[in-house]
Structure 1
Amino acid sequence: MLRKTKGIVINYIRYRETSIIVKIFTEEFGIQTFIENGVRSAKSKNKIALFQPLTLLDLVVYHKEGKDLHRISELKCLIPFQTLPFNIYKSSIALFITEILGKCMKEETGNISLFRFLLNSILWLDAAEDDFENFHLQFLIKLASFLGFSPETASEVSNELSLHKLPPLDSNAEKHLNALISSEYHNAPKLDRLSRNTILNSIILFYKLHIDTLGEIKSLTVLQEVLK
């Protein structure tokens, strides 16, 4: 059955010579996997650009309940990015976010509030001219509320880490994390590189306590090197 929906590209893998298998978080159906044939051929007119991390799509898809693999009938860019693919700092954040989303989001049902959160967060990052260095920290904190384990205070994170014999946050990091928890993207607290990386590592450990499939975050090293 043909259905219209909006979507956010999570990732894709190459399939055979010219095709890809792409994971998209859709507004109507949650996480869905699609096969797109011929997208890597010379005749595809750069269509592969539509499947880069966090690209926002307007889709018409063939959707049938119970199927693991679907097909796309029509697609176009919903809102073109202005800076995200061209700014090394933002693109590093985008790769990190898509890796986290790919590991955390398994829900194959629509979640409009989560979709709107992701959409608005991505658009904010694309539009931000400066002061977005802590975006990924705030994003993880906000995303956790949709995943069912959002901390209300930094001490909750420290206590849970300690309970599992993991390094807790020190008092300075707790202060910064409390500021991040209570702030919006546009008024994030200022953090130096060491504090940012310390808090990020603790948040990831916190995530791993709740999502046992999280595993290694391959984009983490690059992100921590790029954001100074």
Structure 2
Amino acid sequence: MLQKTRGLALSYLRYRETSIIARIYTEEFGLQSYIVNSVRTARSKNNKIALFQPLTLLEMVVYNKHDRDLHRLSEVKTSYPFQSLPFEVAKSTIAMFVTEMLNKVLKEEASSPQLFRFLVDSVLFLEEARTNYENFHLAFLLKLSFFLGFGPESAREFEDQLRENSYPFLPDTEMETALNTMLRQPLGTPIKLHRSARNELLDALVAYYQVHIDSVGEVKSVPVLREVLG
């Protein structure tokens, strides 16, 4: 049975000679994997494989069967062609980090329209932002943690949970203010953070996720993110 859904591309793997298996977080079915045929050929129309680059927003018609792990796509197109996110170094580096984290923490489970809406709104903010996005990845992880069930209510709770798990996080007043602002205000709210503080908070947030989700492990994009954004 054919069904329509929106999706957010996360990653893909090569499959056989010309196909891929795309991992997509969908509005209707949650996290799913789809076989996409004939996208890795010179004759593939309109560079279709580009549709499955990380964080691409998709409109899809799919064959979804509850008793299968792999599904098939009937139709797919982007709902919002990006103009900046893949092409600006800072944004593409943030997107790489966000995608790696999402691949680690999203599970094959029932759909969550609220989580899907948050992810789409966050991606659109990053695409459209011209200023005040240098802390996007930090605020994004904090807000995402609430959808995953372990969001802290305040900077103090965040700090206490890390200390209870033997992570030496000692934020100063500036960082506590930044954390509380990220927790309570929308993405893009101007926040003053020095480069060293941004790096320290990034490490603390990754550690916070590692405390709550065993599968997080090493986050390979962190060194690149630290270098590009600080």
TM-score between both structures, scaled by the size of structure 2: 0.95
Contact persistence 2:7–2:58 (CA under 8 A): yes
How far, CA to CA, are the matches of 1:155 and 1:33 in structure 2? 39
Q: How far apart are residue 225 of structure 1 and its match?
A: 0.7
What residue number does 1:204 align with? 206
What residue number does 2:62 align with? 61
Q: How far apart are residue 183 of structure 1 and its match?
A: 2.2
How far, CA to CA, are the matches of 1:94 and 1:66 in structure 2? 32
Q: What letter corresponds to residue 50 of structure 1 in structure 2? A: L
What residue number does 2:191 align with? 189
Q: What letter corresponds to residue 139 of structure 1 in structure 2? A: F
What residue number does 1:49 align with? 50
1:176 aligns with 2:183: no
What residue number does 1:143 align with? 144
1:64-89 CA-partner distances (Å, limit 9, x unpaired):
00210001010011111121111111
What residue number does 2:102 align with? 101
How far, CA to CA, are the matches of 2:229 and 2:78 in structure 1? 28
Structure 1 unmatched runs, 5+? none
Which stretch has the larger CA shift, 56-65 or 168-177?
Answer: 168-177
What residue number does 2:30 align with? 30
What residue number does 1:219 align with? 221
**Secondary structure of the corresponding residue to residue 43 of structure 1:** coil
1:193-220 CA-partner distances (Å, limit 9, x unpaired):
1111101110111111110000111111
Contact persistence 1:10–1:23 (CA under 8 A): yes
The percentage of counterpart residues that share the same residue type is: 53
Which stretch has the larger CA shift, 105-114 or 57-66?
Answer: 105-114
Q: How far apart are residue 108 of structure 1 and its match?
A: 2.5
Contact persistence 1:60–1:74 (CA under 8 A): yes
**Secondary structure of the corresponding residue to residue 131 of structure 1:** coil
Contact persistence 1:169–1:202 (CA under 8 A): no
What residue number does 2:83 align with? 82
Q: How far apart are residue 131 of structure 1 and its match?
A: 1.4
Q: What letter corresponds to residue 131 of structure 1 in structure 2? A: N
What are the within-5 Å matches in structure 2 for residues 118-137 of structure 1? 118-137=119-138
Q: How far apart are residue 91 of structure 1 and its match?
A: 0.6
Q: What letter corresponds to residue 208 of structure 1 in structure 2? A: Q
Q: How far apart are residue 2 of structure 1 and its match?
A: 0.9
Q: What letter corresponds to residue 177 of structure 2 in structure 1? A: K
Which stretch has the larger CA shift, 91-100 or 173-182?
Answer: 173-182
Aligned residues: 228
Contact persistence 1:180–1:188 (CA under 8 A): no
How far, CA to CA, are the matches of 1:68 and 1:169 in structure 2? 44
How far, CA to CA, are the matches of 1:138 and 1:199 in structure 2? 10
1:109-148 CA-partner distances (Å, limit 9, x unpaired):
1111111111111001100011100001110011001000
Q: How far apart are residue 15 of structure 1 and its match?
A: 1.7
Which stretch has the larger CA shift, 218-227 or 171-180?
Answer: 171-180
Which stretch has the larger CA shift, 169-178 or 121-130?
Answer: 169-178
**Secondary structure of the corresponding residue to residue 12 of structure 2:** strand
Q: How far apart are residue 171 of structure 1 and its match?
A: 2.4
How far, CA to CA, are the matches of 1:61 and 1:74 in structure 2? 7
How far, CA to CA, are the matches of 2:148 and 2:197 in structure 1? 25
Structure 2 unmatched runs, 5+? none
